[in-house]
């Protein structure tokens, strides 16, 4: 099978305020009405000055950003925006269990080629370096990291590729649940594509595959795999009837992160899985692997391409230690990062 060239987009949700704001701004000045002027008039020029070139744009036109859009596909810039999923946690910008301070922001990357030179990883690091030099970042359980994956080919995903990705998603759903961040395991915005889907939850894997293979177009497949966009694997962007169609499969189950390294770990997991699933996600191929964590790891690794994938980062996710909190997972990641 020929190699599959991919593109990726990354979205990081967080709370941020400038280090020069000491003490930090009060909750009355970081609410929803203040996010746009902060992001556009204050943060954007400081960020671009620090980067030495215009690497950040702002887009608050929709109030709450819906993620990557066609308007930014050809711009080699990050986009600062916001998202009601975190912005409405409370007027204080904090959840009940985790105190966070600052403006509720989302940073959406440019579209990167998942390619051999690996410059996209350096750009992610440069972006985070600038953020952490300028501001203090915090996260809570409502913050997430989303990863969009699409083929580099102009034609986009074929229906067969999407069907194979869908089958792999269902086959390894329990295995993925075991390695997710605890905060995302039972989350309103990360429903399981099988167990949380009334069309599929009572079917066995073979019956699910029959329904998937019977889908005659992307629209039908998306409708089968999810009832809203708030599922672990979001196929809505592949629909032919979607107005702002960007053609990506979106992984929504990574937690919010505080560093570039942790961001890159989750991106590696998402893109490497889609890379394997699009090529080797037939029912027969999948059943060559155990549907457990070890089988998931083996399935992903067999499709890796030397110089493009990063098995060392992937291995950090498959650490084999049960965790009950995101903090435990973060500690394990830190110990395993080289």
| Ordered per-residue pLDDT tens for the chain, 338 residues | 457 999 999 999 999 999 998 778 877 777 778 999 999 999 999 999 999 999 999 998 875 555 555 555 567 899 999 987 786 544 333 444 457 889 999 999 999 999 887 799 999 999 999 999 999 999 998 899 999 999 998 889 999 999 999 999 999 999 999 998 898 888 888 999 999 999 999 999 999 999 999 999 999 999 999 999 899 999 999 998 876 778 999 999 999 999 999 999 999 999 999 999 999 999 999 999 999 999 999 999 999 999 999 999 999 999 888 899 999 999 999 999 97
Q: Residue 235 falls within a domain, yes or no?
A: no
Helix pair 260-280, 159-171: axis angle to 10 deg:
110
* Long-range contacts of residues 256-260, Cβ cutoff 8 Å, at least 24 apart: 256/12, 256/13, 256/14, 256/139, 256/140, 256/142, 256/143, 256/144, 256/145, 257/12, 257/139, 257/145, 258/14, 258/137, 258/138, 258/139, 258/330, 259/128, 259/132, 260/124, 260/125, 260/127, 260/128, 260/129
The whole-number pLDDT of residue 115 equals 85
Is the same domain home to 113 and 173?
A: no
Residues 109 and 205 in one domain: no
Instruction: Give the integer Cα–Cα distance in Å for 259 and 321.
Output: 21
Q: Are residues 17 and 56 in the same domain?
A: yes
Please give the residue range of the domain that contains residue 192: 156-230+240-245+259-336
Instruction: Determine contact, residues 4/74, Cβ cutoff 8 Å.
Output: no
253 is a domain residue? no
Helix (H, G, I), strand (E, B) or coil at 73: coil
Residues 47 and 194 in one domain: no
Q: Are residues 126 and 170 both part of a single domain? A: no
Is position 113 within any domain?
Answer: yes
Cis bond before residue 81 (omega within 30° of 0): no
* CA–CA distance, 176 with 183 (Å, rounded to integer): 14
Euclidean distance between the first and the last CA atom of the chain, given in angstroms as a whole number: 33
Residues 332, 268 share a domain: yes
**Helices (H), strands (E): how many in the chain?**
13, 9
Q: What local confidence, expressed as pLDDT, does residue 60 receive?
A: 87
CA–CA–CA angle 101, 109, 87 (5° rounding): 30
Domain shared by 215 and 167, yes or no: yes
- What the block records as the tokens of 226 is 């999810």
User: 275 with 262: CB under 8 angstroms?
Assistant: no
Q: Can you list the alpha helix ranges (DSSP code H) found in 144-292?
A: 159-171, 173-179, 205-214, 218-225, 260-280, 283-286
Domain check: are 113 and 205 in the same one? no
Q: For the chain, what's the residue count?
A: 338
Looking at the structure, tell me whether residues 36 and 112 fall in a common domain.
yes
Contact between 316 and 173 (Cβ < 8 Å) = no
Residue 6 sits at φ, ψ, to 5 deg, of -120, 160
What is the pLDDT, as a whole number, of residue 89? 44
Q: At what angle do helices 293-301 and 260-280 cross, to 10 degrees?
A: 80
What's the chain's Rg over C-alpha atoms? 19
Choose the final residue of a domain: 131, 150, 169: 150
Question: pTM for the whole thing?
Answer: 0.93
Residues 123 and 270 grouped into a single domain = no
pLDDT value of residue 209:
98
Same domain, 130 and 216: no
Q: In a 10 Å sphere around its CB, with 0-12 CB exposed, 13-18 middle and 19+ buried, how is residue 115 labelled?
A: middle
Structural domain count, the chain: 2
Which of 133, 150, 167 is the last residue before a domain boundary?
Answer: 150
Residue 250 inside a domain? The answer is no
Domain end point (choices 150, 175, 208): 150
Q: Quote the CA–CA distance of 32 and 93 in Å, as a whole number.
A: 9
Whether residue 91 lies inside any domain: the answer is yes
Q: Which of 137, 165, 164 is nearest to 149 (CA)?
A: 165
Closest CA to 56 of 8, 108, 18: 108
């Amino acid at each position: 099978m020929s190699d599959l060239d991919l593109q990726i987009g990354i979205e990081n949700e967080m709370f941020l305020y400038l280090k020069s704001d000491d003490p930090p701004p009060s909750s009355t000045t970081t609410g929803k009405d203040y996010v746009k002027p902060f992001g556009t008039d204050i943060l954007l020029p400081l960020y671009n000055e620090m980067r030495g070139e215009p690497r950040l744009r702002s887009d608050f036109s929709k109030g709450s950003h819906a993620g990557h859009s066609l308007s930014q596909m050809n711009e080699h810039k990050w986009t600062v925006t916001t998202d009601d999923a975190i912005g409405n946690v409370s007027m204080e910008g904090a959840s009940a269990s985790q105190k966070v301070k600052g403006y509720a922001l989302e940073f959406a990357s440019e579209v990167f080629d998942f390619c051999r030179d690996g410059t996209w990883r350096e750009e992610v690091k440069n972006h985070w370096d600038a953020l952490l030099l300028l501001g203090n970042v915090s996260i809570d359980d409502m913050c997430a990291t989303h990863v969009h994956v699409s083929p580099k080919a102009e034609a986009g995903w074929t229906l067969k590729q999407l069907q194979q990705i869908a089958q792999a998603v269902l086959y390894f759903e329990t295995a993925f649940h075991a390695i997710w961040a605890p905060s995302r395991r039972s989350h309103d915005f990360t429903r399981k594509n099988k167990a949380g889907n009334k069309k599929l939850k009572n079917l066995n894997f073979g019956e699910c595959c029959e329904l998937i293979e019977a889908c005659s177009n992307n629209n039908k497949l998306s409708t089968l795999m999810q009832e809203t966009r708030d599922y672990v694997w979001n196929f809505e962007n592949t629909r032919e009837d979607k107005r702002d169609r960007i053609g990506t499969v979106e992984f929504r189950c990574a937690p919010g992160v505080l560093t570039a390294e942790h961001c890159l770990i989750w991106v590696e997991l998402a893109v490497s899985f889609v890379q394997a699933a699009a090529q080797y996600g037939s029912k027969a191929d999948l059943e060559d692997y155990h549907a457990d964590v070890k089988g998931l790891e083996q399935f992903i690794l067999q499709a890796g391409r030397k110089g493009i994938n990063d098995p060392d980062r992937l291995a950090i996710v498959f650490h084999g230690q049960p965790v009950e909190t995101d903090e435990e997972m973060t500690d394990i990641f830190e110990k395993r990062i080289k």
